Amino acid sequence: MNMSNSTVQLHIDGHQVEVAAGTTILDAAKQAGVQVPTLCHHQNLSPTASCGVCIVEIEGSPALKRACCTPVEPGQKITTNSQQLRGLRKSLVELILSNHAVECPTCASNGKCELQDLANSMGVEFDRFEKVVDKRPNDTTSVSISREPNKCIACGRCVTVCNEIQTVNAITMSDRGFDVAVGTFFNEGLGNSSCVNCGQCTVFCPTGALRERSETDSVWNAILDPKKVVVVQEAPAIRVSLAEEFGLDMGEVTVGKMYAALKRLGFDYVFDTNFTADLTILEEGTELIDRVKTGGKLPLITSCSPGWIKFMETYFPDFGEYTSTCKSPQQMFGALVKTYFAKERGIDPADVVSVSIMPCTAKKFEARRPEMRDSGFQDVDYVLTTRELVRMIKEARLDFKNLPEESATDIMGAYTGAATIFGATGGVMEAAIRSAYYLLVGQSLANLDVKIVRGMEGIKEGTLSIPSKELGTLDVKVAVAHGLGNARKLLDKVRRQIAETGKSEYAFIEIMACPGGCVGGGGQPYGCTIADRARRGEGLYREDAGMAKRQSHENPEVARIYKEFLTSPGSEKSHQLLHTCYWERSIQSGSCLELKTHKHAASHAH
């Protein structure tokens, strides 16, 4: 037998396979074309081994082994399906169901629930074991995420993603035995914890125990109220995330159908967050150039991701003054729609209901921050996640797949390719590089595709040579991190560099809270893997590549708003409406401790 050190040969259900040493039985089986049933396992998370569904038999071993966390050994003969295994798995799922609030018709995960799917496919009987569900109250302390403990199967995925991938450490398993529950510090609830609202726990939850705090009822009420002017904006990632929910290909861009659906739902004006994404580039690009020119705090760190912002305020408050003062595109949009747009159309801003569709649960929190009322009202009234929009489209019985394409209202709906890639990790950086290059050199980059900041690697970095007429040739080192664990790693390094040498090697850093960027956001459709996120991102890059205008400064509506309303990037008015300030927060409760930066303070522009 030919066996090298790095590979292992074995038999799985009679198939001979050769896999890399250290491969789990589960992955080896997959390579042999055998799917072992799983429940608590997720391919992107380290195994919690809590459910036991993936047990297999190994010849010569009296004990059954969990395929998800047992590495293969040479010469093993593994059976993944037998009368014994089938019987045990079925009993196990029945047992788990006996401890699960089976409320499928009203559950947010209905149709996407992994427990439902498993139970259904195995033909389990629900009444084998007595129902043992302790009634526990739902956690509704957070404005972003709600937890229904009676649906929790204690698989531990949420804890793993929160602690290992995001390093937020807001939740852990509390209590013991049957009383085990996912809890926060002193069980004060997610809203009173270090939770940054990223919502990755909701995306990884196999059941409906974790979901967004739904605002669809409020939005329907506004739409159906004839006195209200209901406007809507959609984040870049939305246009690439609806297809998969309506029988189209994962990663297909459906922007025209998205606009059409929103109009049919009854929104009075359909705009696009991409408009303020372009605007963000002008504001943030100006801030960057200004900091470079005046010797301001560098690296400049992006501020689009509200999960990252709360994370920064909680764990890296010393980076408040490094973080861009720019509001996120959602909040820029909110401030402008009740000022610029209302004025333009002669509408009383008090009658405007501003709704945003976001791939994100943290945006719900962001919209309710006390700083986000610069229009004189709450700038964004309701934030719906992608999942909530999908439910509204289904409620309205729209045949999304076959909707004719429509367009957004120009005034706050026009956008460039640079804006659309905001939805993927590295996109903000790439958009900023395109415009900063133009602003400093006086001509566009020869190739607008900045490949070094694309892709799913956790931390990406590169150096750009910018032949500025005014400043000479600048070598700008940039870095991009997505997923807060990666952000933590990068910032620990930056913090060390600043402590040791007084400055960091980086000039500009993009950070997105969620792995993959906004396409991998916590408000996105359930059941997606990291690979799915990459496919959504590729969809956005395709849209960008096909657009005539691919640089934010080319957006005619952006030029118009500066001409007619804001004056220029970084102007007094811009600062009033488009910029913000940051707090230091308590790690225990998430509450604000002290204001770390002040509005206007970071700018020297005007």
Partner 1 sequence: MSIYRTHILVPIDEGTVQAGVFEVKRTLEREIRERGLEGEVRVLETGTVGIVGKGVLLAVYPDRIYYSGMRPSDVALLVEEHLLKGRVPSSLKHAPLDLQDGAKVLHRTGLTLPQKRVVLDKAWKVAPDDMREVLASGGYAGLERIVADRMTPEAVIDEVKKSGLRGRGGAGFPTGLKWELTRNSPGGRKYIICNADEGEPGTFKDRLILEGDPHRIVEAMTIAGYAMGATKGYVYIRGEYALSIERMQKAIDQAREYGLLGPDVLEHGFAFDLEIKKGAGAYICGDETALLESLEGKRGNPRIKPPYPVAHGLWQEPTSVNNVETLANVPGIIARGAGWFRTMGTEKSSGTKVFTILGHVEHPGLVEVEMGTPLRELVFSYGGGVSGGRKFKAALLGGASGVFLPEGLLDVRMDFESLKENKAVLGSGAVLVMDEDASIVDMLFSILKFFAHESCGRCAPCRIGTRQLLNLAWKLRRGKGRETDLDTMLRLAELMCGTALCPLGQSVIMPVRSAIEYFRGEFEACVKKTTEEARV
DSSP string covering 31-65, please?
A: HTT-----SS--TTS-----S-TTEEEETT-SS-E
From the list 54, 304, 326, 514, the catalytic residue is: 304
From the list 57, 148, 245, 284, the catalytic residue is: 284
Q: What letter represents residue 325's amino acid? A: T
Q: Is residue 554 annotated as a catalytic residue, yes or no?
A: no
d(CA 133, CA 151): 9
Q: Is residue 284 annotated as a catalytic residue, yes or no?
A: yes
**Helix/strand/coil for 161:** helix
| Minimum CB–partner distance for residue 85 and partner 1 (Å) | 9
Q: Are 441 and 466 in contact (CB under 8 A)?
A: yes
Among 35, 59, 137, 178, binds partner 1 (CB under 8 A): 178
Q: Is residue 304 annotated as a catalytic residue, yes or no?
A: yes
d(CA 204, CA 207): 9
d(CA 89, CA 279): 55
Of the listed pieces 83-91, 187-195, 398-406, 530-538, which binds partner 1 according to CB under 8 A? 83-91
Site membership for partner 1, residue 91 (CB under 8 A): yes
Residue 593 corresponds to which tokens in the numbers above?
Answer: 């401790």
Q: Is residue 518 annotated as a catalytic residue, yes or no?
A: yes
Q: Is residue 252 annotated as a catalytic residue, yes or no?
A: no
From the list 112, 151, 363, 596, the catalytic residue is: 363
Q: Are 578 and 325 in contact (CB under 8 A)?
A: no
Among 127, 135, 176, 227, binds partner 1 (CB under 8 A): 176
Contact pattern for partner 1 over residues 113 through 152, marking x by CB under 8 A: ---------------xxx-x--------------------
Site membership for partner 1, residue 179 (CB under 8 A): yes
Of the listed pieces 177-185, 244-252, 261-269, 418-426, which binds partner 1 according to CB under 8 A? 177-185
Of the listed pieces 85-93, 211-219, 289-297, 446-454, which binds partner 1 according to CB under 8 A? 85-93
Among 44, 79, 95, 439, binds partner 1 (CB under 8 A): 95
d(CA 440, CA 442): 6
Contacts of 32 (CB under 8 A, 6+ apart): 12, 13, 15, 17
d(CA 73, CA 103): 42
Peptide bond into 299 cis (omega under 30): yes
Among 69, 104, 448, 452, binds partner 1 (CB under 8 A): 69
From the list 114, 148, 212, 287, the catalytic residue is: 287
d(CA 514, CA 386): 15
d(CA 385, CA 360): 6
| Minimum CB–partner distance for residue 58 and partner 1 (Å) | 13
Of the listed pieces 60-68, 388-396, 493-501, 545-553, which binds partner 1 according to CB under 8 A? 60-68
Cβ proximity to partner 1: between 90 and 542 the closer is 90
Q: Are 274 and 422 in contact (CB under 8 A)?
A: yes
Residue 177 corresponds to which tokens in the numbers above?
Answer: 């035995």
Q: Is residue 549 annotated as a catalytic residue, yes or no?
A: no
d(CA 590, CA 245): 34
| Minimum CB–partner distance for residue 499 and partner 1 (Å) | 27
d(CA 315, CA 429): 23
Q: Is residue 287 annotated as a catalytic residue, yes or no?
A: yes
Cβ proximity to partner 1: between 179 and 500 the closer is 179
From the list 94, 344, 371, 538, the catalytic residue is: 371
**Helix/strand/coil for 468:** strand
Residue that is written with structure tokens 């910018």 in the block: 466
From the list 50, 193, 324, 375, the catalytic residue is: 324
Within its chain, how far is the Cα of 89 from the centroid?
Answer: 34
Cβ proximity to partner 1: between 129 and 565 the closer is 129
Site membership for partner 1, residue 102 (CB under 8 A): no
Cβ proximity to partner 1: between 91 and 221 the closer is 91
- Dihedrals phi, psi of 465, to nearest 5 degrees: -100, 115
Q: Are 479 and 459 in contact (CB under 8 A)?
A: yes
Site membership for partner 1, residue 66 (CB under 8 A): yes
Q: Is residue 457 annotated as a catalytic residue, yes or no?
A: no
Closest among 61, 51, 48 to 91, alpha carbons compared = 51
- Total of chain residues touching partner 1, rule CB under 8 A: 37
Contact pattern for partner 1 over residues 36 through 55, marking x by CB under 8 A: ----x------xxxxxx--x
d(CA 134, CA 181): 11
Among 9, 71, 117, 568, binds partner 1 (CB under 8 A): 71
Active site (catalytic) residues: 284, 287, 304, 324, 363, 366, 371, 518
Q: Which residues bind partner 1 (CB under 8 A)?
A: 40, 47-52, 55, 63-64, 66, 69-71, 84, 88, 91-92, 95-96, 98-99, 128-130, 132, 153-154, 156, 172-173, 175-180
